[in-house]
């Protein structure tokens, strides 16, 4: 029998994701789930995708659609993306864009590119679980990135000791799991910090397009470009995704960065999976061109109303001592429970007694703190269900 001691040391740090385990619960009848941070399938642009796949397979494009293609990604999609990035303040060429199999793959590659065992990655406390999982495989040490906090470069360097700080990772718009946004000052301060530490910035823009109120804040990469004039001089690496806007199942994401970074990531892609599925990239390209500009306002309206329903229901049903964030976009509200209430215990009880699911917050903290936090997602339930689910949660909390 093959024994576990043959596994590489990196495997000791990799554990099953609580979220993945929880997603299995979605199939149980009667469960109200605020667990997965997933888009509502009823909102997928299904007809546009049907046309796009028909177009890819029913025309002279089929040979290309089913064939191997270049690692950098389908050129027409990269052209659309260059245009899209320009609209959000990032001027770049096709050579600055790599298509990945979801932005999750980009996070894995960036961990692989920057982290040797023992190197330091600065991450939010809490931070996106999938980023922690991706980076963990490269055996880093994590330190707490405190944006707008009072930790300067000297403190980070002192805490790192012999270890090199390689990058700061953040999701500046409507972060997973907190829903919080980093303001302009925080973004500028982060760039200053990265200059002082001479490290990269990994900007995760997974929810960037999903703003329901307030004015958009320029991406960190746009701010750095304004400082430096050329993307080739920038240390920020932008990761984008179609998962939250068009479809997560097709697994299409992208990275925008200086050519010297992209060329290294291309080498990784060649070694890992050669390229992302050609036909999926073609379909995303068609659908993005056909309806991205009308689809996003619709998503903002629907998800915005769900966010409002969740915030209203929390005001109505949460007992005293419970606090939560008020996200301007994205899919999540982050709830802090009174000290002593443990999120995972509450989940067990909520599932058992009132059939409500959510994600306990502890898994999002690299040091296992945050036991009294939970993440609620409002994206995949209608307003009445949200109202009812939060009412039931309030009932359990009061009990
Ligand atoms: C902040 C963040 N980044 C990246 C991802 C990965 O998305 P995908 O690989 O589907 O693009 C997710 C998915 O939930 C996310 O929440």
Residue with tokens 């000297």: 154
Ligand 1 atom closest to the Cα of residue 252 is 11
Q: Name which residue sits closest to atom 3 of ligand 1, judged by CA.
A: 206
Centre of ligand 1 from the C-alpha of residue 206, in Å = 6
Centre of ligand 1 from the C-alpha of residue 59, in Å = 33
Mean pLDDT of successive 10-residue segments in the chain (399 residues)? 89 71 69 93 98 92 94 98 98 98 98 97 96 95 88 91 96 98 96 97 98 97 98 98 98 98 98 97 98 97 98 97 98 96 92 93 93 97 98 95
Out of 108, 176, 206, 334, mutate this one to test ligand 1's pocket (max ligand atoms within 8 Å of CB): namely 206
pTM of model > 0.75: yes
pLDDT reported for residue 386: 98
pLDDT reported for residue 26: 64
Q: Residue 343 class from Cβ within 10 Å (0-12 exposed, 13-18 middle, 19+ buried)? A: buried
Centre of ligand 1 from the C-alpha of residue 319, in Å = 32
Distance, CA of 294 to CA of 284 (rounded, Å): 15
CB 20 within 8 A of CB 37: no
Centre of ligand 1 from the C-alpha of residue 60, in Å = 34
Residues touching ligand 1 (Cβ under 6 Å) are 37, 102-104, 128, 130, 171, 176, 204, 206, 241, 243, 248, 253
Distance, CA of 146 to CA of 76 (rounded, Å): 39
- Cross-strand bridge partners of residue 238: 203, 256
Neighbours of 308 (CB within 10 A): 15
């Amino acid at each position: 029998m093959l024994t576990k001691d043959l596994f590489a040391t990196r495997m000791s740090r990799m554990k099953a994701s609580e979220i993945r385990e929880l997603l299995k619960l979605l199939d149980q009848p009667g469960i109200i789930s605020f667990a997965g941070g997933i888009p509502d399938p009823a909102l997928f642009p299904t007809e546009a995708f049907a046309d796009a796949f028909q177009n890819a397979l029913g025309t002279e494009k089929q040979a290309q659609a089913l064939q191997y293609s270049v690692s950098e990604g389908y050129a027409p999609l990269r052209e659309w993306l260059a245009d899209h990035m320009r609209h959000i303040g990032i001027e770049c060429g096709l050579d600055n864009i790599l298509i990945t199999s979801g932005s999750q793959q980009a996070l894995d590659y960036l961990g692989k590119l920057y982290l040797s065992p023992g190197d330091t990655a600065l991450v939010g406390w809490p931070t996106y679980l999938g980023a922690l999982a991706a980076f963990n495989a490269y055996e880093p040490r994590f330190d707490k990135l405190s944006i707008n906090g009072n930790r300067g470069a000297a403190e980070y360097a002192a805490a790192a000791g012999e270890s090199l700080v390689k990058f700061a990772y953040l999701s500046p718009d409507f972060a997973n799991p907190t829903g919080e946004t980093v303001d302009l000052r925080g973004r500028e301060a982060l760039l200053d910090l990265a200059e002082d530490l001479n490290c990269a910035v990994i900007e995760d823009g997974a929810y960037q397009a999903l703003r329901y109120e307030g004015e958009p804040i320029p991406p960190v990469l746009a701010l750095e470009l304004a400082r430096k004039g050329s993307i080739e001089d920038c240390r920020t690496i932008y990761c984008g995704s179609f998962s939250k806007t068009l479809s997560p199942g097709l697994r299409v994401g992208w990275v925008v960065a200086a050519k010297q970074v992209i060329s290294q990531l291309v080498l990784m892609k060649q070694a890992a999976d050669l390229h992302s599925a050609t036909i999926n990239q073609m379909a995303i390209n068609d659908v993005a061109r056909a309806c991205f500009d009308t689809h996003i306002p619709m998503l903002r309206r629907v998800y915005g109303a769900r966010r409002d329903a969740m915030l209203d229901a929390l005001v109505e049903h949460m007992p005293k001592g419970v606090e939560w964030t008020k996200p301007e976009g994205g899919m999540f509200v982050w709830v802090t429970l009174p000290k002593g209430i443990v999120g995972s215990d509450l989940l067990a009880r909520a599932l058992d007694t009132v059939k409500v699911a959510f994600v306990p917050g502890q898994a999002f903290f690299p040091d296992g703190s945050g036991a009294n936090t939970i993440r609620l997602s409002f994206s995949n339930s209608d307003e009445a269900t949200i109202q009812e689910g939060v009412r039931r949660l309030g009932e359990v909390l009061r009990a």
